Structure 1
Amino acid sequence: MSPAPHSFSQRRFAPALVAQALDDALASASSTPVLAISGVQGSGKSTLAGQIVELARSRGLCAAAVSIDDTYLTRAQRQRLADRIHPLLATRGPPGTHDLALAMATLDAAKAGQSFPLPRFDKLADERVPEAQWKRIEQPLDLLVFEGWFLGTPAEADEALRTPLNALERDADADGTWRRWCNQALAEHYPALWQRFDRLWMLQPPSFAVVPHWRWQQEQALQQASPGRSSMTRPQLERFVQFYERISRQALRTLPEIADRVIALDAQRQPLVDAQS
């Protein structure tokens, strides 16, 4: 899983909710279920995934977690997309900037009970960690938790793409080439990945308005964990979040009707209600 320290939010999810997530995944028909956790940036996906893995291991199970962020294309691969299609594709994040073959191969290997390496991506370096440094899963897993900011999200209708929704789209994608290309990638290539999920849980924020604040806290935590390494400034991060805004808003509109379980969060990333059966 990408380095994602949680010093900005030491709050952990209630044990009852963690147990429900684990039990729900294990109740699926798959011998190695994939539990997908979807949620906007900074919502606590990695925290919840880590707690589920901890609980599974405490029960004597073999479990691991990985993020879709760990399957971003390399910087050189994204630059080639930027040169060929649109300059905004140099920036990681939106659909089309992931190595879907790597993501699906990882999930398939887990489901097949095979040995496989867990991909890793260094966000401060904006580059994939060399494969020689990836942790290898040597024994069959009882559970793989797969987390990501837009897992399970369907593409938008074409007419929704006509009007820019933020300054990034207005100033850098006036003709809509970038957002149409990302939406087409989401429509054509990502459903095959979504179909590999046995369960999909969603962490639902009160609105997209909290995302820049949550993501800034996350960026500060990354910097604190790696002193001396550069990170984004607040203005840079505000622009960066705009790359994710369109698909995040689409996820907020659509995933509550798609996910197997929706956990509503308040502005402090706390569930609004206790875990329920």
Structure 2
Amino acid sequence: MPPQFVDDKSPICIPFILNRLKLHHQQHQQQQQTSPDDNHPSPPPPPLIIGLNGLQGVGKSTLVAPLAEALASQGVPTLVCSIDDFYLTHEEQVKLARENPDNALWQVRGEPGTHDITLLKSVLSSLLSHAPTSIPQYDKALFAGQGDRLPPHLWKPINTNLSNPSTSTSKPLQVIILEGWCIGFRPLPPPLLFQKYASPSRTLQNHRLEHLLAINEKLREYDEVINSLLDALIHIDAEDTEYVYEWRLEQEEHLRLARGDPNAGMTKEQVIKFVDAYYPAYELYSEGLREGLFKDKPGAQLRMVVGRDRKVKQVIEI
């Protein structure tokens, strides 16, 4: 039986988040003091945006719920959203795959280039100004597992009660946690990508160099939009990146047990093929993330290194 999830990460993450939030509010207050406007009340500080990066199957999605609950219990309204909800529509995914038939990395969703970064930027900008916003919802089960974005009337409304502060009982968001397997990845200079491609690897040589360069170029947009808006980053790293294959197998076993269907979920061969579609990005960009995302904000990145059992073995603030 696959191991049950044990949350040993929230007790590490909560103090880190609260400390970054305190610094965030102090900075906002200083800005208000240097440019006061006596004719208008001070607006609430924009939410603190925290990126959450982790390998597939490490427990990102399971962690964010207790994180949000713990923060809310301390009077910190928190929104959790996933980059998965910003995948291209099914029609757009099909178009991307058709226009790049030889690039296996764009035949399935996941890699940079398969998300709607313009939509993500629009949503985050609205959230930062506390404007009424709708969070897209994505159903991975549609189109036989290819997935599709749900219509806008099914999106999650946020800040709808803040439009009339005199009657609203809702409090403005203070924290946004944006989780995703590629959050914080930065594109590589081509010479460094060439060097990695020429070195022994698990999956890089399965792809043509120009296809990896295309992914790398798309990642620039992610860097400009997502990373530029992040105030802090939580990185759940692993002692061995290849644990991701075993963790994904365990997730499929959980699915079979939950449904009581021995045929549910992916087979071992399907899991390997699935993870192989993501693994080139791990091989290209994980090292850079470990070195630190923020050059001008020391202490804004929390890196937790976990073992095969997903339990934290080392904690590093960068």
Using structure 1 for the length normalisation, give the TM-score: 0.85
Does residue 186 of the first structure (1) align with residue 219 of the second (2)? yes
Alignment partner, residue 287 of structure 2 = 253
Q: Is the 8 A contact 1:86 1:178 kept in 2?
A: no
Which of residues 27, 42, 56 in structure 1 aligns to 2:71? 56
Q: Is the 8 A contact 1:70 1:121 kept in 2?
A: yes
Does residue 155 of the first structure (1) align with residue 187 of the second (2)? yes
Alignment partner, residue 13 of structure 1 = 8
Q: Is the 8 A contact 2:81 2:179 kept in 1?
A: yes
In 2, distance between residues paired with 1:212 and 1:133? 33
List runs of 5+ in structure 2 lacking aligned partners. Answer: 28-44, 163-171, 294-300
Q: Is the 8 A contact 1:118 1:137 kept in 2?
A: yes
* Matched residue type, 1:134: W
List runs of 5+ in structure 1 lacking aligned partners. Answer: 1-6
Deviations along 1:37-89, one digit per CA (max 9) or x if unpaired, are 11111122222322221012112332110111111112221111111123521
Which of residues 11, 21, 42 in structure 1 aligns to 2:57? 42
Which of residues 286, 300, 304 in structure 2 aligns to 1:263? 304
In 2, distance between residues paired with 1:42 and 1:201? 16
Deviations along 1:198-247, one digit per CA (max 9) or x if unpaired, are 11111111111101111222344456556789643221120111111121
Alignment partner, residue 129 of structure 1 = 150
Q: Is the 8 A contact 1:168 1:239 kept in 2?
A: no
Q: Is the 8 A contact 1:35 1:200 kept in 2?
A: yes
Deviation at 1:189, TM superposition (A): 4.5
Alignment partner, residue 210 of structure 2 = 177
SS at match of 2:277: helix
Does residue 143 of the first structure (1) align with residue 175 of the second (2)? yes
Deviations along 1:150-173, one digit per CA (max 9) or x if unpaired, are 211112343146459446852xx3
In 2, distance between residues paired with 1:226 and 1:92? 25
Runs of 4+ in 1 over 3 A off after TM superposition: 160-169, 219-231, 273-276
SS at match of 2:126: helix
In 2, distance between residues paired with 1:12 and 1:206? 18
Using structure 2 for the length normalisation, give the TM-score: 0.75
Superposition CA RMSD, Å: 2.7
Alignment partner, residue 19 of structure 2 = 24
Does residue 101 of the first structure (1) align with residue 118 of the second (2)? yes
Alignment partner, residue 3 of structure 1 = none
SS at match of 1:12: coil
Alignment partner, residue 240 of structure 1 = 274
Alignment partner, residue 37 of structure 2 = none
Q: Is the 8 A contact 1:70 1:119 kept in 2?
A: yes
The structure with higher relative contact order (CA 8 Å, sep 6+) is 1
Which of residues 120, 137, 144 in structure 2 aligns to 1:120? 137
- Identity, % of aligned positions: 25
- Residue 258 and residue 56 in structure 1: after superposition, are their counterparts in 2 closer, same or farther (change >3 A)? same
